[in-house]
Amino acid sequence: MESLTLVIGNKNYSSWSLRPWLLLKQFGIAFDEARIPLFQADSAQALREASPSGRVPVLRDANLVVWDSLAICEYLAEKFPHLPLWPAASDARAVARAVSAEMHAGFSALRENMSMNCRKHLPGRGRAPGVQDDIDRITAIWRDCRKRYGAGGDMLFGKFSIADAMFAPVTFRFVTYGVDTDPVSAAYIKAVQALTPMQDWLAAARVETEVISQSER
Amino acid sequence: MESLTLVIGNKNYSSWSLRPWLLLKQFGIAFDEARIPLFQADSAQALREASPSGRVPVLRDANLVVWDSLAICEYLAEKFPHLPLWPAASDARAVARAVSAEMHAGFSALRENMSMNCRKHLPGRGRAPGVQDDIDRITAIWRDCRKRYGAGGDMLFGKFSIADAMFAPVTFRFVTYGVDTDPVSAAYIKAVQALTPMQDWLAAARVETEVISQSER
């Protein structure tokens, strides 16, 4: 048994769960995984018992319970200071936090209308008012980060960081809903999709048996 | 001229602007203030020029531009490591980040229906579906933090921290809309309202001349 346990939802649907899971995997941090299938008869009860907010993801570290995807990432960055979970340079780290926070609180039109469903292909669906504005802003963030800070690799700040973990669910959404992007964004999506843990997550999502109708989300 | 400039919106309405402003004031960090009145004919243009996301608050530190209320708070915590912007104990800090992040991304029913309007008194208004659930969760967070970590003062983690800055706009909302709470939450609201910078913010909001109708928010 590892000291860290990450409680997540369905891999096919729980975009917020993917973020800290991917971060842990990318940096080779050992953890136990606990899964609460969402939108089932007993989900609400299980979530209330596992999480102060009634939501996943939740990280347990001995007696400490940390919830919320971004707060978990910050906790891990502090717990493993020798690992570059955030970019090392102060300016880059400040911008990485800004784009991560913007993703964390924003893009509600995209999140509502293009909910994560990573094993599906639904091109053209989800084109509601406001969605294109969200797509435009997200891809502008990606182009700006890649241009200003991306030189050392193919992630937003060169090497993989928390910022990439925060946007990873969006790359699944763009693939599922067939969103066309500029070449820089398309290359970034491809690089994120190619990460081994992303492929593992998708493979696990494909064998999950729960099906949630769009109207329940 | 100070090295830091914080760009904010109208003090009466811009709940997100209040957070880093209050944090800077409470810790005596010098900064210049720039104000962009929201919902005016030229607001959108001014916001686009000031902020990558088109939103306030924005912090400028020489050539660095940091946006989003939570990312600005994290940047300041790193820039002034001798100041206890986050609680000092690792566990308390992790929980402070969790409640701050939950506030940052959540409570959309409350935010939509009880928009900040700190100079007004509108008791009974804003009681839409979902709002009471948000109120119940927020006050549960306050009671939990006060009980587990509040011993050293009258703030969520004893002394004032980023977590209090994140919830400060909610205390204005609860006063404006006459939200009744449990005694622990009521005492916390009173303590936040009594902070000198909160009184200064309210006084400045009262002399602002812009009036935004509810339908524009």
pLDDT digits (tens, 9 = 90+) for A160-193: 999 999 999 999 999 999 999 999 999 999 999 9
Chain A residue with the nearest C-alpha to that of B97 = A71
**Residues of chain A found within 8 Å of residue B94, distances taken between Cβ atoms:** 64, 66, 71, 75, 78
Q: What is the CATH number of the domain that holds B65?
A: 3.40.30.10
The HSE-up count of residue B50 (CA atoms within 13 Å, CB side) is 25
- Determine which helix (DSSP H) or strand (DSSP E) holds A66, and give its type and residue range: strand A64-67
In the DSSP assignment, the letter for residue A7 is E
Q: 3-class SS at A67? A: strand
- The structure tokens listed for B196 are 């000198």
Domain boundary among A51, A67, A83: A83
CB A161 within 8 Å of CB A215: no
- State ipTM: 0.96
Q: Nearest to residue B110, comparing CAs of B155, B176, B36, B19? A: B176
Q: What is the pLDDT of residue A86?
A: 98
Q: What is the pLDDT of residue A39?
A: 84
Residue A163 lies in a domain: yes
Q: Nearest to residue A14, comparing CAs of A63, A51, A65, A64? A: A51
Q: Are β-strands A32-35 and A4-8 bridged in parallel, bridged antiparallel, or unpaired?
A: parallel
pLDDT band at B214 (very low <50, low <70, confident <90, very high): low
In the DSSP assignment, the letter for residue A41 is T
Is the pLDDT score of A216 beyond 60?
Answer: no
Average pLDDT over residues A48-52: 94
Residue B8 lies in a domain: yes
Residue A207 lies in a domain: no
Q: Identify whether residues B103 and B133 lie together within a single domain.
A: yes
**Pick from B68, B90, B101: which is nearest to A71 by CB?**
B101
Q: Identify whether residues B111 and B177 lie together within a single domain.
A: yes
Q: What is the pLDDT of residue B138?
A: 98
Q: 3-class SS at A195? A: coil
Question: What would the DSSP string read from start to end of B15-71?
Answer: HHHHHHHHHHHHTT---EEEE--TTSTTHHHHHHHH-TTS-S-EEEETTEEEESHHH
Q: Is the peptide bond before A57 cis (omega within 30 degrees of 0)?
A: yes
pLDDT band at A217 (very low <50, low <70, confident <90, very high): very low
What is the crossing angle of helices A90-105 and B69-79, to 10°?
A: 150
Q: Identify whether residues B176 and B144 lie together within a single domain.
A: yes
Average pLDDT over residues A34-61: 94
| Averaged pLDDT of chain B | 95
Residue B126 and residue B122: Cα distance in Å, rounded? 9
Question: What would the DSSP string read from start to end of B144-203?
Answer: HHHHHH-TTSSBTBBB--HHHHHHHHHHHHHHHTT----HHHHHHHHHHHTSHHHHHHHH
Is the pLDDT score of A213 beyond 90?
Answer: no
Q: Identify whether residues B77 and B111 lie together within a single domain.
A: no
Do B78 and A70 make contact, defined as CB atoms within 8 angstroms?
no
Residues 6+ apart with CB under 8 A from A40: A210
Q: Identify whether residues B94 and B196 lie together within a single domain.
A: yes
Is the pLDDT score of B215 beyond 70?
Answer: no
pLDDT digits (tens, 9 = 90+) for B85-118: 999 999 999 999 999 999 999 999 999 999 999 9
Share of chain A above pLDDT 70, in %: 98
Residue identified by tokens 């939802």 is A9
Q: Identify whether residues A190 and A98 lie together within a single domain.
A: yes
Do B105 and A100 make contact, defined as CB atoms within 8 angstroms?
no
Q: Identify whether residues B46 and B129 lie together within a single domain.
A: no
Domain boundary among A83, A112, A137: A83
Q: Identify whether residues B113 and B172 lie together within a single domain.
A: yes
pLDDT digits (tens, 9 = 90+) for B153-208: 999 999 999 999 999 999 999 999 999 999 999 999 999 999 999 999 999 999 99
Specify the higher pLDDT residue, B154 or A217: B154
pLDDT digits (tens, 9 = 90+) for A146-164: 999 999 999 999 999 999 9
Residue B100 and residue A141: Cα distance in Å, rounded? 24
C-alpha distance from A143 to closest chain B C-alpha (Å): 12
Residue A52 and residue A183: Cα distance in Å, rounded? 41
Residue B191 lies in a domain: yes
Average pLDDT over residues A122-126: 95
Residue B205 lies in a domain: no
Q: Nearest to residue A67, comparing CAs of B152, B16, B96? A: B96
Q: Identify whether residues B51 and B23 lie together within a single domain.
A: yes
- The structure tokens listed for B140 are 């549960």
**Residues of chain B found within 8 Å of residue A70, distances taken between Cβ atoms:** 70, 97, 101, 104-105
Q: 3-class SS at A163? A: helix
pLDDT digits (tens, 9 = 90+) for A66-106: 999 999 999 999 999 999 999 999 999 999 999 999 999 99
Is the pLDDT score of A1 beyond 90?
Answer: no
Q: Identify whether residues A116 and A143 lie together within a single domain.
A: yes
Share of chain B above pLDDT 90, in %: 93
pLDDT digits (tens, 9 = 90+) for B40-90: 889 999 999 999 999 999 999 999 999 999 999 999 999 999 999 999 999
C-alpha distance from A147 to closest chain B C-alpha (Å): 15
Q: What is the pLDDT of residue B145?
A: 98
Do B52 and A106 make contact, defined as CB atoms within 8 angstroms?
no
Count Cβ atoms below 10 Å from residue A84 Cβ, excluding itself. Answer: 17
Domain boundary among B83, B102, B137: B83
Which site among A47, A56, A91 would you substitute to test the B interface, given the most B Cβ atoms closer than 10 Å to its Cβ? A91
Is the pLDDT score of A130 beyond 50?
Answer: yes
- The structure tokens listed for A17 are 């769960």
Q: Identify whether residues B192 and B96 lie together within a single domain.
A: yes
Which site among B3, B61, B70, B90 would you substitute to test the A interface, given the most A Cβ atoms closer than 10 Å to its Cβ? B70
Q: What is the CATH number of the domain that holds A112?
A: 1.20.1050.10
Residue B25 lies in a domain: yes
pLDDT band at A214 (very low <50, low <70, confident <90, very high): low
Q: Identify whether residues B67 and B100 lie together within a single domain.
A: no
Is the pTM higher than 0.90?
A: yes
The range of the structural domain enclosing residue B8 comes to 4-83
Residues 6+ apart with CB under 8 A from B164: B22, B155, B156, B157, B192
CB B200 within 8 Å of CB B33: no
**How many structural domains comprise chain B?**
2
Residue A215 lies in a domain: no
